[in-house]
Amino acid sequence: MTQKNRLSGGQIGRDTTLKFTFDGKQYQGHQGDTLASALLANNVRLMGRSFKYHRPRGPLTAGSEEPNAIVELRGGARQEPNTRATTAELYNGLTAKSQNRWPSLAFDAMAINDRFSNFLTAGFYYKTFMWPAAFWEKLYEPIIRKAAGLGSLSMKPDPDAYDKGFRHCDLLVIGAGPAGLMAALTAGRAGKEVILADEDFRMGGRLNSETLHIDDAPATDWAAQSVAELSALPNVRLMPRTTVIGAFDHGIYGAVERVSDHLHTPDPGKPRQTLWRIYAPRTLLCAGATERPIAFDNNDRPGVMLASAIRSYANRWAATPAQRIAVFTNNDDGHRTAQDLLAKGVKIAAVVDTRPDAPRADAYEVLRGAQVIDTKGRLGLTFAEVKLADGTLRTIECGALGVSGGWNPNVHLTCHQRGRPTWDDSLAAFVPGGTLPPGMSVAGAAIGALSTHGALTTGAAAAKKALGLKGRTPATPKAEDAPVSQTPFWYVEGCSRAWLDQQNDVTVKDVKLSHQEGFRSVEHLKRYTTLGMATDQGKTSNMGGLAIMAELAGKAIPEVGTTIFRPPYTPTAIGAFAGRIRGMEFHPTRLTPSHYWAKERGAVFVEVGNWLRAQWFPIEGETHWRESVDREVTATRNSVGVCDCTTLGKIDVQGTDAAAFLNKLYCNGFAKLAVGKTRYGLMLREDGIAMDDGTAARLEEDHFVVTTTTANAARVYQHMEFVRQCLFPDMDVQLISTTEGWAQYAVAGPNSRKLLQKVVDPAFDISNEGFPFMACANITICGGLRARLFRISFSGELAFEIAVPSRYGDALMRKLMSEGAEFDVTPYGTEALGVMRIEKGHAAGNELNGTTTALNLGMGRMVSKAKDSIGSKLSERPGLNEADALIQVGVKPVDPSKAITAGGHLMAETGPVNAAHDQGYITSAAYSPSLGHMIGLGFLKNGAERLGERMRLVSPVTRLTVEVEIASAHFVDPEGERLRA
Amino acid sequence: MHDLSPLTPLGGTAPQIDTVADLTCTEQCDLALASVAARLGQEKACAAALQKLLGAAPPVAGKAHLAAPYSAVWAGPDQWMLGADFATHEDIAAQLKAALKDTASITEQTDAWCCFDLSGEGIAAVMELLCPVNMRALASGDATRTTIHHLGCFVICGDPNGFVRILGPRASAGSLHHAILTAMRSAL
Amino acid sequence: MIINHPLLGPRDSAEFTYKGDANLINRPDPETASPQDWHDYAYLRDNPAGPHRELWFHDGGDRSWLVVTRNTLTHEITAVELARDVARAEGRSK
Amino acid sequence: MRYSGFKVIKEALSGHKGWTPAWREPEPQSHYDIIIIGGGGHGLATAHYLAKVFGQKKIAVIEKGWIGGGNVGRNTTIIRSNYLLDGNEPFYEFSLKLWEGLEQDLNYNAMVSQRGIMNLIHSDAQRDAFIRRGNAMKLNGADAEYLDLDAIKREYPFLNFNDARFPIKGGLAQRRGGTVRHDAVAWGYARSADQHGVDILQNCEVTGFKIEQGKCLGVETTKGFIGAGKIGCAVAGSSGRLMSKAGMRLPIESHVLQAFVSEGLKPVLPGVITFGAGHFYVSQSDKGGLVFGGDIDGYNSYAQRGNLPVVEDVCEGGMAIMPMIGRARLLRMWGGIMDMSMDGSPIIDRTHIDGLYFNGGWCYGGFKATPASGYAFAHLLATDTPHDTATAYRFNRFETGHMIDEKGMGNQPNLH
């Protein structure tokens, strides 16, 4: 028979029947069910296994604090391990599997651990598995790891998308129970921007689980009416299915909305979940309270549940774990469960009340001053052993046992900024402390107002206070105001295996052992026993452990302390924190102006920072990248090549002090650079280490264009702004980054001038006389398009760089190709660029590695002593100027057929090969088609004095040893005649 | 007149237009841009010259002046981004230099940026998935620089319920466009 | 965190880049400073547990360098100034 | 008491009555030969080696809270010796060797697990740099292995090889790297030090130093004045706070580093993986949790907690390189205070104050250094000469220009 434990009433849509499977077996539930409520309705109590002992487990709670009923939800790539059945919304076609068991949930071979629990006590593994030493990795640990973990990942990429969003409000209300609803109504009616967030899919909080009345109507009606009124207010945003996971600095709250988790699969374009960053100057925490259990022997059997949870299942979900139920309580709240169950036709075996003066009841038997001391039932509760007030024992038959040890306010978010809760003796519980996150206040059960009346009144008052609303608070609706008396009762005396942390199998005995071995602070207890470290973060177990430790230490609970609550409030999908920032969207992609053209040409692209740059341009018949690169280099050196160098940073430096500013910025002089001239500049960090290099072109008296390396563009700009705003605030200089505004191409090779003369407008003389090496100018091309021309060379050839507004970059590249046909113009990519700069000994990123000085780079003399510049002073420290300092050199293999690897280290020709004899390292290497063998750049101790010396280049990780000769870094055209041609 | 034909930031020959539900995202290419930064000691003179040019005081922090022929957005202390119709102001830098003389440093920015105009219903729902700007509090003429998926952008509000302009780095137009469309499909 | 920009109002700190102690504004006078002065400027920090004046760059915004006074124990921000104004006030004008 | 398999069985059969406290709770004596300030991994290790290796007597460790409550108990448990520079590599290799013999040395199972660490490579420049690093490691006697893309695919089939923004090009592995049960390191050193007569004084905060004529004579504490011949400070993130009590300014800033752990999952990761194109590294604990982290938050902080932007940044990196973890849930996040030095490398040195010694500047790399740091600091305290592997870790290196800058970021700690 289906749903044999389904009761009458409840807030489920009985007209919609939903099919689902658990461990392959078909069941039916209704709209509004959770997986747990539906399984209980189908008389399924056994839903999981514990972590260490693999004990059979059923749900303990009806909410997000659940330690036991965690399953693998869904299948395939969407498999979700460790999903709480108590919060998983039922949908048609839901599939779930139990986890951490083999071969089946009912028969779990690993349950053998339970037999050896005596050996597997807290911390046992620190004391053994040490002999022989090698066995840990080889034998013991693999076994332990096999047993590790609960659910399993699909090992497939998460197919669903996640969003991130940002929301602002005047007041964020966390929790939509009576306090939260009342607060939102108060603020909403006052016209304030309000966000009301609740982790549940149905707002109303405990009201949905109780049979209470507000204003003489069922409290559920009041909740529904309030939600309706709020959703009609344009200034109020309701966020159900939204868990506020963390309180971060300055009123920023993280909240996760489960947009599609109640659906079979998300709708097209929609996310599975959204991580909201909520900016809230004022926040009201109305997170309610969590019932706490009482520990007694074998209190972990399926069917042993929190009394309030059984009540929730009966009242809200019309489901019961059994037809005959007992209650074990130390307070009046447990009796509510008995009354509500009776009203639903469930038999009450007895209410076991620890209080000798417990209230009597006619409808059910109350065992006053009695305690549950043990339970029976292999896969589910069958009997409870009770010790009566007079000491006699009695066995009570029951399929479920509701346990109530009182309520703990949910103070978690109040502690996210390391505030500590304070102990309230009247409640025998922790309540929010004095130091809340700035802007946060607390109301309702979360602050200890446990009655409905208390929740409504504190909610309204707190909202008023937080927003500074004037006028008197409107009368709050009429509701019960039962007095709350919570006398602490943590565990049944003399028990041994009484569970505190049910998921991690931490028992009272483990806490006692922890104390015995000196692990007595809360932090030590937690770490030594793993109490409270499970997926529920100890929401139902920390207090018990704390209380027992306090008793053993003979201290009051607050003296022992409380563990720090940290975000997230409940475990949160990692995907939600990443949002859309994954895959190809991990970083933005920057495309050069010639990208589409290069793509047509079949270019191979490479990532440089966020840029995509053409690496080389393969042509028909080329099978290896080296063929393409060698061809591009040779063609450029022999005729003319074109390379897109737009990615170099371009910073506009203007103002009457522009030259003086650059003089501070670069270690070499710029004050006297003539208009129409460009100069190479080396920038140091203040600590004297080379930061970046590039050129500065003086287009006008008060206007420079500075280039930076591609990788450092952003950092250099930031540095320049620092120097401008913080170090020299009264220099007249303005900085604007224009990197992407101009498409800039290097046109290099003996025919580069001839090619450019075909596009540059005739008005401009770019002959060697009219436009010599290092000249620059604003010009026009192709009949009037404004452009910039620089006579600079990275390749070492006669070369220019020409820049036009980016939108024309594509057309200019095509123009250069067509006009250049007569010279066999060749586009070249970053590889050929790299080869040519190595052939010329130009330093690049690999050499400017953040540890090298001007001296190391062979530019020691560039650092002007005649002026002050950033870094010049600290570059004079002895450690940066030692006699055998590393100096940039070139290396070539003695046997031209041999390879050279970047990253290799330089050793003397003979003698030992080890760190003590390390003399330098190779930074860049390439095959030089111009020379017909590989060449490299590197740093060598006292390198300048060692040209011609033979050494060994060793690279153990790539298993390479090769005899090399130290050479000048300028392999090609050392006199630089070509670039001046 | 030169014979080089332009490409749009998204790499097309014509602007791209996408519509999701009742919201349209238009690639805007008819915009000439230049930054104006007052020279030291010339701040007042520069502001005065700008006032003459704009017919209104240059916008203060967080504000834009939306008008023709010139619109202006505050970009930093004594610094603005001026916009005009590309057809008539392709040489915007030169035109501004003529008007502002030595009171300001002027830098052509036309092709440093890409521009997407959002017009129609649901702007707030889309924007709250893109950046921390509080659209519910945004009024016409508000303009702010913010970050969208790691990209530094200007968000300029024409009409909070009907028109928002987003300026982003041109080289990343594709990434920005993808982010905007993804948000539109998610929110609408 | 939220940094209350003196010109732009409250902004998410994610728009900013952090540099360090605002004392970095006080670059030694190249004419008179000793090597020790340069070392102390570049390498030594008060690193207080409490109020700390520090430099943030609004690279996701108006490109201003700010001097933020922030408590390193609580992260509470009590003052935000334009670094350029601070630099001038501390006598860095030409 | 000695731990052994036999002892565990005996106790199991006799109700665990025989276990005694792992360390005593002594009252402070009026004077010690050597006081170590800081009951974290480094301080406790220092005490252990001082007593066991260097035969020192009358040693106390002073801890303001509970031992092991600082960074040793809030890190991502990784050990490795994959360093580039001569000043660092021998020291970290020495540390790795000490890890390899730790359990036997301490008679405590800290679960040293050499499952390997893999640094992924995403660009040619990165490959060149990692090859140089791998070579430096081997030249210093450590192990290193360069893997090409195919090898990475074989060993880590679950990584993102399909739509990666920064495609994987290879990796540098150190097979002897791995993880250790971090709390157990503190407890193991504490237990051993205690058994060698070291007094561990918990909940005892140092409020000041007694310094006369340039000599440090002892410390004022919340439990009164305690005299000492020598005082060693090993308080990591609190270095600035503590040394200011001795009037010192340090080349150190305190920053918060966040770390994260997921819910327990069946084993999926063989060892430690670091993502070279994003801020993300991850391993899996023996309990099944994915333990991961990334960059420091980037601003000075003593708050032991971070903020959302870095949480998101780290998870973005995780999803970019390992998109299968999207549905795994982040269980807990926490923050530790990192003593970020000006060149990213530590300091183990005497101070200008006679009798006062300093150990700090470990940045986010202190855990793996614990044994060698303790050993080298003990060596310095006992012999007044730096240990062979720690000769470069001097205060004055910034004056002389002998920085040890692995990352090449210069004097801006939050970039290291």
Interface contact A722-C57, CB threshold 8 A? yes
The predicted-structure confidence for A284-295, as pLDDT tens digits, reads as follows 999 999 999 999
The domain spans of chain B are 17-29+111-187, 31-110
CA distance D109 to D99: 11
- Interface A:D, Cβ pairs < 8 A: 357
**pLDDT value for A157:** 97
Q: Is the Cβ of A947 closer than 8 Å to some Cβ of chain C?
A: no
Answer whether A568 touches D (CB < 8 Å): yes
Count of CA atoms in the C-beta half-sphere (13 A) of A365: 11
Tell me if the pTM is above 0.90.
Answer: yes
Could you give the 3-state DSSP secondary structure of residue A775? strand
Q: From A700, which residue of chain B is nearest by alpha-carbon distance?
A: B105
DSSP codes, A396-417? EE-SEEEEE--EEE--GGGGTT
The string over C54-82, giving b where at least 16 C-beta atoms fall within 10 Å of a residue's C-beta and e elsewhere, is bbbbbbbbbbbbbbbebbbbbbebeebeb
Residue spans of the domains in chain C: they are 2-89
Identify whether the C-beta of residue D397 lies closer than 8 Å to the C-beta of residue D386: no
Q: Could you say which of B2, B40, B91 has the minimum Cβ distance to residue A782?
A: B2
What is the DSSP code string of A28-39?
Answer: EEEET-BHHHHH
What is the Cα–Cα distance from D37 to D35, expressed in whole angstroms?
6
Give me the CATH topology for the region C2-89: Folate-binding fold (3.30.2270)
Cβ-proximal residues to D157 (8 Å cutoff; 6+ apart), any chain: none
CA-based nearest residue to A309, from A285, A340, A330, A348: A340
Arch. (CATH architecture) of A164-289+409-467 = 3-Layer(bba) Sandwich (3.50)
Contacts of A156 (CB under 8 A, 6+ apart): A76, A77, D324
Taking contacts as CB-CB distances below 8 angstroms, the residues of chain C near B144 are: 8, 61
Nearest to A150 among D20, D263, D402 (CB): D263
**How is residue A107 written in tokens?**
């028969």
**Contact between D299 and D414 (Cβ < 8 Å):** yes
What's the CATH class of domain A303-404?
alpha beta
Rounded CA gap, D368 and D79, in Å? 4
| Biggest CA pair distance of chain B | 51
Alpha-carbon distance A228 to A472, whole Å?
Answer: 24
Regions in chain D scoring below 50 on pLDDT: none
Query: Does the beta carbon of C17 lie under 8 angstroms from any beta carbon of chain A?
Result: yes
C13 CB within 8 Å of a chain B CB:
no
Q: What DSSP designation does B101 have? A: G
Whether the ω angle into residue A132 lies within 30 degrees of 0, i.e. cis, is yes
User: Does residue A1 register a pLDDT over 50?
Assistant: no
Task: State phi, psi for B152 to the nearest 5 degrees.
Answer: -75, 120
From its phi and psi, is residue A428 left (phi > 0), alpha (psi between -120 and 50) or beta?
A: left
Task: Name the CATH superfamily housing domain A872-980.
Answer: Aminomethyltransferase beta-barrel domains (2.40.30.110)
Tell me which DSSP letter residue C49 carries. Answer: S
Q: What residues of A are in contact with residue B39 (Cβ under 8 Å)?
A: 655-656, 732, 734
Which member of A274, A657, A736 has the closest CB to residue B107?
A: A736
CB D60 within 8 A of CB D35: yes
- CATH number of the structural domain A1-159: 3.10.20.440
pLDDT in tens, A11-59: 999 999 999 999 999 999 999 999 999 999 999 999 999 999 999 999 9
Q: Which of A183-192, A548-557, A811-820 shows the lowest mean pLDDT across its residues?
A: A548-557
- Residue C94: closest C-alpha in chain A: A730
**Any alpha helices (H) in A233-280, and if so which ranges?**
none
Most C CBs within 10 A among B74, B80, B147, hence the mutation to make, goes to B147
By C-alpha distance, which of A356, A291, A370 is closest to A328? A370
What CA–CA distance (Å, rounded) separates B48 from D292? 56
In whole angstroms, what is the distance from residue A691 CA to residue A711 CA? 11
Residue found under tokens 């109301």: A443
pLDDT for the residue numbered C9: 95
Question: What pLDDT is attached to residue A309?
Answer: 98
What percent of chain A stands above pLDDT 70?
100
Name the E strands within A718-846. Answer: 734-737, 742-748, 776-781, 785-790, 799-805, 826-827
Closest CA to A378 of A119, A59, A58, A84: A58
Label residue A576 left, alpha or beta by phi (over 0 means left) and psi (-120 to 50 means alpha). Answer: alpha
Distance from CA of D89 to the nearest CA of A (A): 10
What is the Cα–Cα distance from D291 to D266, expressed in whole angstroms? 13
- If one counts every other C-beta atom within 10 angstroms of the C-beta of residue A418, the result is 16
What's the CA gap between A212 and A232, in Å, rounded? 26
pLDDT for A609 equals 83
Q: CA angle at residue D141 from D135 to D144, to 5 degrees?
A: 45
Q: Which domains does chain D have, with CATH numbers?
A: 30-81+84-107+182-251+343-415 (3.50.50.60), 117-178+254-341 (3.30.9.10)
Q: What pLDDT is stored for residue A718 in this prediction?
A: 98
CB contact under 8 A, A518 and D23: yes
Q: Is D311 on the interface with A (CB under 8 A)?
A: yes
Do B40 and A657 count as a contact with CB atoms less than 8 A apart? yes
A968: pLDDT strictly greater than 70: yes
Residue of C30, C65, C82 with shortest CB distance to A722: C65
- Among positive and negative, which fits the CA dihedral A266, A271, A277, A282? negative
Cβ(A47)–Cβ(A68) below 8 Å = yes
Task: Please tell me whether the peptide bond between A103 and the residue prior to it is cis, using omega within 30 degrees of 0.
Answer: yes
For the segment A382-407, the average pLDDT, to the nearest whole number, is 97
CB pair distance less than 8 Å for B77 and C64: yes
Buried/exposed D317-356: b ≥16 CB within 10 Å, e otherwise: bbbbbbbbbbbbbbbbbbbbbbbbbbbbbbbbbbbebebb
Residue D102 DSSP SS3: helix
Statement: residue C72 has pLDDT above 70: yes
Encoded amino acid at A449, one letter:
A
User: Looking at residues B160-175, what average pLDDT do you find?
Assistant: 96
B115-152 pLDDT, tens digit each: 999 999 999 999 999 999 999 999 999 999 999 999 99
**Tokens describing residue D193:** 């030090």
Pseudo-torsion of CA A353, A355, A356, A360, nearest 10°? Answer: -50
pLDDT tens per residue across span D370-387: 999 999 999 999 999 999
Whether residues A119 and D8 touch (CB distance < 8 A) is answered with yes
Q: Is the peptide bond before A568 cis (omega within 30 degrees of 0)?
A: yes
- Angstrom distance (rounded) from CA A874 to CA D411: 12
pLDDT of residue A562: 80
Helix, strand, coil tally for chain A in percent (to 5): 25, 30, 45
Measured in degrees and rounded to the nearest 5, phi and psi for residue C3 equal -105, 125
Is the domain B31-110 a CATH 3.40.50.720 member? no
CB of D326 less than 8 A from some CB of A: yes
Q: Of all helices (H) and strands (E), which one includes residue D282? A: strand D280-284
Residue entry with tokens 């009026």: D30
Asked whether residue A67 carries a pLDDT value surpassing 80, the answer given is yes
Maximum distance among all Cα pairs of chain C, rounded to whole angstroms: 41
- Dig out the tokens for D194 from the structure: 């205690």
- Which of D171, D183, D230, D224 has the alpha carbon at shortest distance from D382? D230
Q: List the strands of the sheet with C51-57, edge to edge.
A: C17-21, C51-57, C65-71, C77-82
Chain A neighbors (3+ CB pairs < 8 Å): B, C, D
CA distances from D21 to A549, A617, D7, D385 (A): 15, 71, 15, 36
CATH architecture of B17-29+111-187: 2-Layer Sandwich (3.30)
Q: What is the pLDDT of residue A122?
A: 85
Of A271, A732, A806, which is closest to B39 when you measure between CB atoms?
A732
Helices (H), A535-610: 542-553, 557-560, 574-578, 595-600
Strands (E), chain B: 17-20, 23-27, 31-38, 64-65, 71-76, 79-85, 104-108, 113-120, 143-148, 151-159, 163-169
Contacts of A280 in chain B (CB under 8 A): none
Best A272, A806, A815 member to test B by mutation, with max B CBs in 10 Å, is: A806
